[in-house]
Amino acid sequence: MGEILNSVPPRRKRKSLMPGARLDLCSEKKWRMREVDAALLLLCICYAPMVASDETRRAVCTTRICLRRKREQTVPSDSSLSGRKSPEIHRMSETAQALFKEIAPAHRMPHAKVTVVGVGQVGMACAVSIMQKGIVSELCLVDVVADKLKGEMMDLQHGIPFMSPCTIRASVDYEITKGSKLCVVTAGVRQREGESRLSLVQRNVDIFKGIIPKLVANSPDAMLLIVSNPVDVLTYVAWKISGLPPHRVFGSGTNLDSARFRFLLSEKLGIAPTSCHGWIIGEHGDSSVAVWSGVNVAGVALRDVKPDIGKKADSDKWQDEVHKGVISAAYEIIKLKGYTSWAIGMSTGAIASIALRNTRSVCALSVNVKGLHGIDQDVYLSLPVVLGENGITHIVKQNLNETEIQQLQKSAAQLYEVQCGIKGL
């Protein structure tokens, strides 16, 4: 205790500071009290108030002042396009000070920060969908085109009064993404009309090399949700580049394909899509697999009602009208409007909501399937998974029939072949 007391400087008159100036703990003689020493002093006062000397009491008072000054240090401003200070501590303007009586500093620690990389049609559809879910306190946008980035940020900010409040920031600098819980990557070159998703891969790999390391450096504990196409291969690429555990790197996969599948099933059955249960697994693309053996309505398997459903002998042409409709949907939309955006945006918003709310819901995401269904390679493709705040915790072991397993293995082989052809990974 004697050593602790000897380190306390004599009490001096405090110097006035300019507004916003930074103040070190007890700047007199550059003295700094360690928190351990402070705790010891406080314990002494709490347990022996009658014994403590005046010198000890002065030391404790000095400690309390120093710790309070440390908490009240000015937060440095960031370099975001919004030009606003970091939201950890909100400082009122002169008008606000005249309007309100401040009782305590408004510490605002974001409970759910999400970053969206890429502000093209898909990226902005994802951002809007995530905002409408009311799950984020801070949404950060990153892109290489500063003017468009700032314009999109302002456009979203002006819509905040119509939904749950959140802070929207934008920057070309990845430092803005620091502390994100979820990073959604939509950046990449656009799929051309008639172009297979797999032919996109090499063009987008080089782009990912400039994105993924920066995201991980600023948010090492974040989950990475890959939306860019070809999503399965690029999710694998992101996993390899990031060095993160595989359960925290996943792709949007066939979550949208499964939604399209249920919609087309509902159209053919004349009921609501939410009442149709079925899954598309494998590649998000041409080699996807429709799990006809599991399609059901209210627990009634359609294969029990119509044994040849999904087969060539099917007189109702379920395979041609439903599964092939799922595969061709993106190509048709791109032909008509030039790109897809809204459905994948809504799918991404749903995935983000599941992860951040920790609902542990099941959805079809692109995940490392090594060791499942006879697949022995590190391949990312879609299977139903359980998703929560720590990423993917479980993969559902579907009871696939022999035909479905063969189709899934074929899909995995095609994706693995593409992975092996990637240069510079």
Residue 90 to residue 87: CA distance in whole angstroms: 6
Q: What backbone torsions phi and psi does residue 360 show, to the nearest 5 degrees?
A: 55, 45
Largest CA distance in the chain: 96
Pairing of strands 289-290, 280-281: antiparallel
Residue 351 buriedness (CB in 10 A; 0-12 / 13-18 / 19+): buried
Identify the CA nearest to 119 among candidates 184, 52, 208: 184
Of the residues 284, 323, 373, 394, only one is catalytic, namely: 284
Distances (CA, A) of 7 to 33, 94, 368: 8, 40, 57
Contact 232, 256 (CB under 8 A): no
Identify the CA nearest to 54 among candidates 100, 8, 12, 16: 8
Residue 233 to residue 212: CA distance in whole angstroms: 14
Instruction: Collect all residues with Cβ–Cβ distance below 8 Å to 62 and sequence separation of at least 6.
Output: 8, 9, 11, 26, 33
323 catalytic, yes or no?
A: no
Instruction: Collect all residues with Cβ–Cβ distance below 8 Å to 2 and sequence separation of at least 6.
Output: none
- Which residues are designated catalytic? 284
